[in-house]
Structure 1
């Protein structure tokens, strides 16, 4: 009986060891996630599920209500209206730069609707850099996650363009306006 028990324990040990060796191969890079893996709370209290945008371009922008670039809301809204069959714009309000965003989501939403007629999806206020970075921006700014590039969020209204297949295509800094040919040539 002791011999059978011993043989059984040895077999269990061998099986456990072989599954440990083969279960987690960390020798090669892991494939990048897709933007479609992310969900985030919307400014309306619902969820923005990026998988719902499969087949469309997605323009992700970190926004702020009290910035010199804030008038870009108008261009973002126009893109959303003009190319809505091919493009979704998603704004991520953030107060990471010089206290340029309201601290209340209701106030942010009201400001955007009243001053720029914003109808495209907005998230709740998030961090787009630093220790509390929201997972979407962590993904967008690190090549190790997105498989394409590293990007540094330098100010408000940085833009990330995602392909209809869910992969990062390009990064545009604050100075590139939404109606720029650098962006719109994808949808024409």
Structure 2
């Protein structure tokens, strides 16, 4: 074996031992201005939830905030992604931000209003569909990304944020 072959095998072994973070490169426009990058949370679990202000599931914001409060010190990020794909979101990001602040006192990261399905879907949601076959069927669908950037679990609207199913999945991803 040549020196070059040996080095290539060593490099290949290192790449296998340390897989590339799968969810890399996805950015969202922040509801506060600027951008939110999933790369900033590499190595941490991220729960991404498509939300809406005028939905029967909107009270889940309380549970999402409680989940974030419970696990944030252990690394969990909860990212709310307001979407009007199901025609239940307010007209502007400013209205959404005010609604969430007044009614739910949210301090979790939140994106601007973002498409989550169909041809206009955000690249993150297109990647989720490609990787797992999961596409939000309604508001408050949840995608759990593990610390390695892989999709760990997906949940429909009816799965409550503090349900045993959800907390077990999250706890399995925590350090």
TM-score normalized by structure 1?
0.77
Structure 2 match to 1:51: 39
Q: What is the total number of aligned residue pairs between the two structures?
A: 152
Higher relative contact order (CA 8 A, sep 6+): 2
Instruction: Answer yes or no: is 1:167 the counterpart of 2:156.
Output: no
Q: Deviations over 1:113-153 (max 9, x none)?
A: 1101111011110111112111111111222xxxxx21131
Alignment partner of 1:160: what SS?
Answer: strand
Q: Deviations over 1:61-101 (max 9, x none)?
A: 0000000000000000011111002200001100111x210
Instruction: Answer yes or no: is 1:37 the counterpart of 2:21.
Output: no
Alignment partner of 1:187: what SS?
Answer: helix
Unaligned runs of 5+ residues in structure 2 are 1-18
Matches within 5 A, 1:105-144: 105-143=93-131
Q: Which runs of 4+ in 1 moved over 4 A?
A: none
36 and 158 in structure 1: CA distance in 2 versus 1, 3 angstrom threshold: same
Structure 1 match to 2:134: 151
Aligned residue among 84, 95, 112 for 1:95 = 84
Instruction: Answer yes or no: is 1:80 the counterpart of 2:68.
Output: yes
Alignment partner of 2:171: what SS?
Answer: coil
Q: Which has the larger radius of gyration?
A: 1
